[in-house]
A and B are shown apart, each in its own frame.
Chain A
Amino acid sequence: MTTIGRQNLFSVALVSILLTSACGQDRLVHLFAPGSLPGEYGVAALERSFRVRVDESVTAQIYLPTDTEESLASGPFPLVVFVAGALVAPEQYAWMATHIASRGHLVVMAEHFADLAIFSTGNSADVVEAVDRASSREGDLLHGLVDPTPAFAMGHSLGGVIATKTWLDRPERFSHLALIQSRPDPADAGRLSEVTFSAGEVFAIAGSRDERIPPELVEEELALFNGEVPLAIVEGQNHFQLVDGSTIGQAAMDGAATIEDALSRERLLAMLDLLLRFYDDPEAIDVTDHAVWPSGIITFDEYQEAL
């Protein structure tokens, strides 16, 4: 090989590496200043592609607590992984993710093929691994922001099914699970029957007007877990009130809500706040005790009596 040949080869390699590295730019946007949300923190959103499964990539949205309008708060923050429902993009749950981040949690939402998490069941677990590596890497925007203690997995609808799989796949990384208008996959019955958990670590929330995944179905499928899973029901809430910009076609598959979207979401967030408080400090509150549940949240028995 001539000298010129070697130089050309080096240039091609260098340009290739620069091209591929340039594609990994972080895009951080400050959404809410501290004090503008119920939590003590402001919130910034980061959209980033992570390398997963050796040479594939998954884009994820990350919601981070901030302490000024321009800077991220000092971590580490407990990790909450949220999985979006079928045919719903992660950003359609930004209202929920920003609320959770304002409470001092780092929220990760991975994207999936065709917005169907069932086609990419490993994306959340792979992104969490990549986020953990980023948190331990000097110079990374996420450096020091992720608490390595076991995380909280949540999902809405189909997202809850996949969140359960992630929780089962990575028991060392996930301790808590919240199924929001969702249920476990009966195909996971074998694994679910083997995994044990403490009271309140697995929790289900349903909507009394949800006709996509009605409370009766949720109650029935929760029996797959090897332990008592409390089921809290948001009175008057339907399925797609939790999704920003839901379509008329989606609404046609759902029941009619009896409360406005704002109240529906307020009730759900109040319940999530309780679960997050319990997650942060199990001694602080007993989420299995119905008496501590917020107003507008009822038990399955109360729901059936009201029918």
Chain B
Amino acid sequence: MTSALRIRALAAMAFSIAAVLAPFSAPAAEIPLPDHALMVRVSTAEIMATYGRSISNYEAWAGLAIRPGAGAVSAPVGVSREWIRGSRGVYRLSARVTVAPMLLARDETDFALSAGLGVDNRFVGERLSGLFGLEMDSALVLTSMQDHRNRFLVVAGLGRTLPWLDVWLTGRAGYTSGGAGGGSLFTELGVAVTFPLSKD
């Protein structure tokens, strides 16, 4: 790994971590998010469960994710902010920052840290909702400081909101660069179910 690449990966991670730690003030909510929510997501790449807590238009969450292919267990934590347009909240623009320490158990035991930024716009319809977004994510193996990756993804999804749960079918596609060579195309298809635990 060249110094330039290492600096770029570290800079991307530092920026993401700073964004998470930066103080923010919560304005009054137009449409409140559920106070507490449990989300379970199963995809072709990982299984993830998170618990989220919302205040006004901000949400913070923490959870556990397993990537069986890579033998990775991670504990993602994140913060998101939502902006709502339309009198009935038809469009929801959301930006989020995630940091995930990882334990890598495949082949050898390593520790890694990933940090990501994501933006998506949701159209909330009466029967179906749609989502389109962009994500970038960087990760670095801390124990060797050699292996790293940067991932740029396009996210699209279809959702259905029911009184007691939210179901989203999402696809993510993009490119992972880094490692020892030129990287690879990345695709993932997943289903996420969110259970609101309480509502204002």
Which A residues form the contact surface with B (CB < 8 A)? 12-13, 16-17, 19-21, 23-24, 49-58, 112-113, 119-126, 128-130, 133-134, 137, 140, 165-166, 169-170
Contact = CB atoms under 8 A, between A and B. Distances in A.
Nearest to B149: A53
Nearest to A54: B139
Contacts of A126: 179-181
Interface residues of B, number: 37
A137 B139 CA distance: 24
Interface stretch (B83-91, B126-134, B152-160, B182-190): B182-190
B114 to A, nearest CB: 7
Nearest to A119: B185
Interface stretch (B15-23, B53-61, B102-110, B163-171): B102-110
Contact of B149 (A12, A24, A56): A56
B73 A121 contact: no
B114 A23 contact: no
A54 B141 contact: yes
B73 A54 contact: no
B147 A53 contact: yes
A123 B179 CA distance: 9
Q: Main secondary structure on chain B at its contact with chain A?
A: strand
B67 interface: yes
Given A20-B71, A51-B71, A133-B107, 7 more contacts: A20-B68, A20-B105, A55-B112, A55-B139, A57-B106, A121-B181, A166-B181
B184 A51 contact: no
A50 B105 contact: no
Given A12-B64, A51-B70, A53-B149, A24 B107 contact: yes
Interface string B124-152: 00000000000000011100000111000
Contacts of A121: 181-184
B179 to A, nearest CB: 4
Q: Which 6 A-B pairs have the closest CB atoms?
A: A125-B181, A122-B181, A121-B182, A120-B184, A57-B69, A53-B179
Contacts of B180: 52, 122, 125-126, 128-129, 169-170
Nearest to B183: A122
Contact of B183 (A13, A51, A53): A53
A13 B105 CA distance: 12
B156 to A, nearest CB: 18
Contacts of A21: 71, 105-106
